[in-house]
Structures are given as structure tokens and as C-alpha cells.
Amino acid sequence: MPYTILHISDLHRSPTDPIGNDELLSSLVSDFERAATEDPPFGLPDAIVISGDLVQGVGLGEPDHEAIIRAQYEVALDLVNRLCHRFLGGDRSRIVIVPGNHDVDWNVAFSAMQPVAEADLAASPIRPRDMGPRSDVRWDWHDRTAYRIVDRARYDARLDHYRRFVAQVYDGVALRYAINSGIGYALFELDGGRIGVAAFSSCFGNDCFAFHGAIAQDSVAQAHMDLHDRGAQYDILMAVWHHSLEGPPEATDYMDVDTVYNLIGRGFRLGLHGHQHRGQVSNRYIHLPRAEPMAIVSAGSLCAGPVDLPTGVNRQYNVLEIADDCRTVRVHVREMAVGTVFAPSLRADLGGRGHTVMNIGARLSPIPPARLRADAVVVKAEELLKSGDAPGALVALRSLDLTAVSYPRTLALRAAADAQDWESVTEIATPPQTVEELVEASRALAQQGRFDDASAVLDGFSRTLDLDAAVEGDLRSFVAARKAMA
């Protein structure tokens, strides 16, 4: 079965938005119900990814901007909570969220700036490269005034409303990776640990005068090392951000594609974003020396009004189905076709269909991730056994397949015996597949007072497994002695 992700973006939530949460939820629920009868069909989501612009935001100089943004985030939180309850059974650990440019409080950003004196400006003219995401200099075309960011702590607070929203979403949720609001990314696990997700803020240096998308310089490397150094082995690495990778020549509100190439080079194979208000799929490659791909998927805006939508595009969302081998992903683009009813987006750039299949490519490691994960469990169990925690080792090993003869099965049998958990010994070693398992099974059955079963397992497997006659005699004596003591 594929792993299904509901990918939504650009919610632009506001109490005054023309489409409310009730109508949005109803539209999504009815569309998923119809999708079960389509060709190809898709099922309910296993996870939800929201790639930015949760609220509409507030313009520069807006009176009482704090109260307005708080009210917008209340609407956004209501929608996210209801989506989670409806589609994920309330499990918020399966929600991934990143901020967008509309989540930036322009008024807070502006309060951290001061005008640059004309004399200073004349002595050192501002060039375009001086106004990048890592610069303190900004230019206001409206007033033809240069500004400088003078209070970095205040400037960083421009995303505090978003951070409070994230804290509310994940309050009380057990996550493998704790969320640190002071860095430019958050890490998640999906699909039982098979999918590792790096959720980036592409709003580094984004404010009321600087519209570019950018991920902080070291965030990609730091996120990669966090995933790498914690020993997690994923079938696929996925990245999420907000800004698009291209735009018209006069625009500046997109992200440098080199960031994507950096992600590809570190093993990320699927990228999700929003911002451009239209669904789009594409592949990017680098050659090191073999071609290493990333499937990049943009979601249209779920809630934007007509003014904010591109020509010929309605409200949209995506459904992604990641194949079980994590080598392909089927992307379904859904679009409001009549009123607020969603249907397949039959667009020319999708080949006239509402879906397309994209190659993700093999993981960098030649060793299958499932094997790497199993090896990590075995190492952990060995450490627990050495420390005397046999029950803990048994719990860890039960996450693996113990049905066939293998080292994890042998180790689990040892852990169960050390813990004197005779029921687990019987469960693991019955039917016995080796002489050692026959010995453990017969002894464990006798320990439980199941003397007839112990004799039966010896009768049934002693000859098949070529049990030494002396050992068989000792085991039958042990069973008889336990029975006499009962």
C-alpha cells in the first residue's frame, strides 16, 4: 500500500476570508470520498503537510496588527485541528508545517529598522547585492528610503506569532525530534520511521521590503547532520519549504535553486513547497557522477481569493502516494471545479490528467534502509542485555521479524530466557527450528507447568532436529522433575 500525504499550502486564513473552515473541510471530505471511485483511486491521508502561508497577514502600518494576526491564527489553528481529527485520528505527530511569507509580521520587522542617513547613503551607495537575505540593508521603493536592521532580536520576533501557533499544534505531542524555534528547520518522522522529513523556513531575511525566499545558510547542512548523526535510517528523505524556485524576471519572491541542489547532494529525494498558488511537478538533477534526482511538487493555494490566484487557476491541493519501495510518487492535483467542489485538475502541464507519476530514485546508501534499521535495533538490544536490561532488549527486538532463524531471533530468545519470560520464550521458539530452540522451548513449557506440551514438543522435534540422545534424556528428566514438584 502507498503512503498517502495530503499536501496543502497557502491557507491565508482570516476571519474575513470568503471561504470558511466548515466549507473547506466539507469540500475535502467529499472529495476524498469521491476519489475512492476514480481511476486511479486514492485513500485517506496518512499524514498532512502544510507548506506555509497559514494566515493572510497584515499590511505595513495596519492599526492593531497584533490582534488581527492573533485572530487569523485562531482560524488557522481551528482548521488544522479539525483536519487532524478528521483524517489522522487526532495524531498531530503526523502533521508537518513550515512558515510562509504571509506568516511574517511586517510591522514587527519594520520596528527593528532605522532609516539610513542620506550622508551615509551618499558615501556608500546601496547595490542590489547589498540587500540580500543575509544583509542588514533594506530599500523601500515607496518612500525611496534605505533602512538598516539595527535590532536583530526584535527582527527575529517577526515570526513569533507563527512560533506560538506551532507550539499549540504540537503541545503534548511525543516527537522523535524536539522542535527548536530558534533554528531554521524542524525534523519529523513519518510512515513508522521510514520517511525522514526536514521542514525548513524559507523566510530567512524575508520582511516588508525583502520578498525573496531563502533558507538560512547552514540549515540544510545542520538538518542533514541531525538526521545522519542520530542513527536513523530512512527509506526516503523529504524536504518541505514554502517559496517557489522560479518566477517572472521582475519578481524577487522565489528561492535560489542552489538550495535544492544542496538538498539533493545530501540525499533528499522529494521536495514539497507552495507560494506560487498553482500545482506543479518537476524533477531536478545533479550528477555526482551518477544522476541523483529530486521530485519537486508545488501545491496550489487551498484558500486564496480570486485576486491572489494565477490566471486560469482555482483553489487547489495535492495528494501524494509514495510507493512502498519509495522509488516513485504519484501526485494527484485537485482543483475546485464547480463552486467549492474539488475534482481532478485536468491541466495541460499534467498531460491532460489529474495525476502523474514521478521517479524519486534510489537512496544513496547501497545497503537497504530496512536492514540498517534492523541492525540498529540489534545493536541497541545487545547494549541493553550487557547492562542487565533483558526485558528492555526483548521489547526492542520484538519490533523485528522473528519468524525465521536469524541472529535477532536468537538474541530475542536469549533476552526472554534471561528475563525468565517463559511465555515469550515459548512464543519465539515454537515451533523450534534449531536444536537450541528445542531445548529452550521444552524447558520454558515445563517452567510454565505445561508438562504435556513439553513432552509433545520433544516427541515431535527430537528426531527431526537430530537432538543428541543424552541431551534429550536430560530434558525429559527436567520435565519430569518439574512435574513432580508441581
**Does 430 lie in the same domain as 343?**
no
Q: Domains in the chain: how many in total?
A: 3
**Does 436 lie in the same domain as 351?**
no
Question: Residue 222's pLDDT is what?
Answer: 95
Question: Residue 117's pLDDT is what?
Answer: 86
What residue type is assigned to position 393 of the chain? A
Residue 44 in any domain: the answer is yes
pLDDT beyond 60 at 204 = yes
Question: Residue 277's pLDDT is what?
Answer: 93
Answer whether 189's CB lies under 8 Å from 135's CB: no
The set of cell numbers assigned to 245 is: 524556485
Instruction: Give the integer Cα–Cα distance in Å for 27 and 356.
Output: 22
Of 122, 150, 178, the residue at which a domain comes to its end is: 150
Residue 433 in any domain: the answer is yes
Residue 388 in any domain: the answer is yes
pLDDT tens by residue, 322-365: 998 888 999 999 999 888 999 999 877 777 889 999 988 755 55
**Does 128 lie in the same domain as 269?**
no
pLDDT beyond 70 at 232 = no
DSSP code at position 171 = T
Instruction: Give the integer Cα–Cα distance in Å for 245 and 273.
Output: 9
More confident residue, 256 or 376: 256
pTM of the model: 0.80
Question: Residue 311's pLDDT is what?
Answer: 84
**Does 123 lie in the same domain as 106?**
no
**Does 311 lie in the same domain as 176?**
yes
pLDDT tens by residue, 352-411: 889 999 988 755 555 566 777 788 889 899 999 999 999 999 999 999 889 888 999 999
Q: Is the dihedral of CA 38, 24, 358, 89 positive or negative?
A: negative
Residue 87 in any domain: the answer is yes
User: In Å, what is the CA distance from 371 to each residue of 195, 238, 313, 375, 399?
Assistant: 15, 20, 45, 6, 13
**Confidence at 458, pLDDT banded by 50, 70, 90:** very high
**Does 138 lie in the same domain as 156?**
no
What's the mean per-residue pLDDT of the chain?
91
State whether residue 238 is helix, strand or coil: strand
Complete DSSP assignment for 33-72: HHHTTSSS-----SEEEEES--B----TT-TTHHHHHHHH
Cα-Cα-Cα-Cα dihedral of 48, 53, 58, 59, to 10°? -170
**Does 475 lie in the same domain as 443?**
yes
**What percent of the chain shows pLDDT beyond 90?**
70
Which residue carries 510507493 as its cell? Answer: 323
The domain that holds 398 is classified in CATH as 1.25.40.10
**What average pLDDT score do residues 165-193 get?**
93
pLDDT beyond 90 at 123 = no
**Does 222 lie in the same domain as 81?**
yes
Residue 364 in any domain: the answer is no
Residues recorded for the chain: 486
* Other beta carbons less than 10 A from residue 348's beta carbon: 6
**Does 452 lie in the same domain as 462?**
yes
The domain that holds 266 is classified in CATH as 3.60.21.10
Question: Residue 367's pLDDT is what?
Answer: 57
Residue 295 in any domain: the answer is yes
Of 302, 332, 359, the residue at which a domain comes to its end is: 359
Residue 181 in any domain: the answer is yes
**Does 344 lie in the same domain as 235?**
yes
User: In Å, what is the CA distance from 126 to each residue of 130, 138, 145, 146?
Assistant: 6, 9, 11, 8
**What average pLDDT score do residues 231-239 get?**
84
Which residue carries 534526482 as its cell? Answer: 293
**What average pLDDT score do residues 469-484 get?**
91
**Does 380 lie in the same domain as 348?**
no
Domain that holds residue 157: 3-112+151-359
Instruction: Give the integer Cα–Cα distance in Å for 391 and 384.
Output: 9
Question: Residue 251's pLDDT is what?
Answer: 83
State whether residue 407 is helix, strand or coil: helix
More confident residue, 312 or 417: 417
Of 327, 359, 391, the residue at which a domain comes to its end is: 359
User: In Å, what is the CA distance from 372 to each residue of 78, 239, 368?
Assistant: 40, 21, 7
Instruction: Give the integer Cα–Cα distance in Å for 29 and 47.
Output: 15
Question: Residue 74's pLDDT is what?
Answer: 97
The strand ranges marked E within 171-266 are 185-190, 195-200, 236-240
**Does 290 lie in the same domain as 221?**
yes
pLDDT beyond 70 at 454 = yes
pLDDT tens by residue, 42-60: 999 999 999 999 999 999 9
